[in-house]
Amino acid sequence: MAKTMKIGKRLIGDGEKCFIIGEIGSNHGRSRKIVRELIDAAAQAKFDAVKFQIYDPQEAFSKNVMTKDVHLEHLYGKEQWWKICRDRILMPREWFKEMFAYARKKGLIVFSAVHWAPDIKFLLDLGSQVFKIASIDCNHLPLLKEVAKAGKPMIISTGMARLDEIDETVKFLKKAGNDDIALLHCVSCYPPKPETVNLRNITLFKKRYPYPVGFSDHSVSNNMSVAAVALGATIIEKHLTLDRRMHGPDHPFALEPEDMKGLVRSVREVEAGLGSEKRVLSKDELASRKMIRRSLVARVNIRKGEKLTEAAVKYSRPSGGICPNDFEGKVKGHKAARDIPAETIITWDMVK
């Protein structure tokens, strides 16, 4: 069995409840009110955690990158992308302490993706118990080295990464002394086409790596996430929004509040239904077996001493008598030990 990850008191891994993360990301519109409402919606839907984004846009992007280069000129006009991130996308750093505290008040684990080393201390000072490594940084070994030093668990998205790159990352972190990690299968398209999601990568990861495996889902519906849980994902991450019609790049594929509740309901239902690889009949199914399975039943009145023939019996519900499988070899041609009225369930004490 794979290792488990522990965030606070919450265990994550095989045999544990799926850890469901709500990605608030840029969908707050730089409104304190909306941030709080998204946290409220996640808590009401019974998510386990919410996640934010923090980075320095001047460090993250070349200033030559324009909105057209990231295919978002239609939303923000012609502008340097780093400025849009600074002024329209990122939640102000001054809000983080307030929002971390508010999320915790609502019973949620709260954390952030980290994109450069100076933010590690910033997040640790806020009491962050786990770090997210976004797909963009899956192979950013200098950053991973610094995050590993913090000694906290790391949830790593693998979008865009080849298998050899994921292997290299895992090997690097193990050598760095902190492989307290979970790996999320991820397709870095927003949203991806269903035929590109390749959910069987979850089973591939589970066979290949001794760590919790999850799924960072950018698809529009909950179908892929629910299927991922059925395949063994123990972490699900989905973007959240109050309304998909809101202005911004991540709203169209994010979950609205009712969808959030639907995701949690579906995931918990699938978890309950997965059970184990042991063939065990529940009490309810044993009751059904008694009611629905067939027995040998007298088709006609059978007198004591008469032979039990195919014409004299039928195979009918309920069970409790002789199994139909036993008629041919153990009952047929034998004599009745007593009178058997028609429609009576035939039991072994009625057969000589």
pTM for the model stands at 0.90
Place of tokens 């035929």: 195
Architecture of domain 12-55+90-274: Alpha-Beta Barrel (3.20)
Contact 19, 12 (CB under 8 A): yes
Helix/strand/coil percent split, the chain, to 5:
40, 20, 40
Contact 14, 1 (CB under 8 A): yes
Architecture of domain 283-350: Alpha-Beta Complex (3.90)
pLDDT tens digits for range 193-231: 999 999 999 999 999 999 999 999 999 999 999 999 999
- Give the per-residue pLDDT at 276: 87
- Give the per-residue pLDDT at 277: 87
Torsion over CA: 166, 167, 168, 174 (sign): positive
Q: 270 pLDDT exceeds 90? A: yes
- Domain extent listing, the chain: 12-55+90-274, 283-350
- Give the per-residue pLDDT at 287: 94
Q: Which residues of 25-43 are buried (b: 16+ CB within 10 A; e: fewer)?
A: bbbbbeeeebbbebbebbb
pLDDT tens digits for range 46-96: 999 999 999 999 999 999 999 999 999 999 999 999 999 999 999 999 999
What does DSSP assign to residue 256? P
2 pLDDT tier (thresholds 50, 70, 90): confident
- Give the per-residue pLDDT at 61: 96
**One-letter amino acid identity for 210?**
P
Place of tokens 């002024």: 87
Q: Which residues of 205-231 are buried (b: 16+ CB within 10 A; e: fewer)?
A: bbeebebbbbbbbbbbebebbbbbbeb
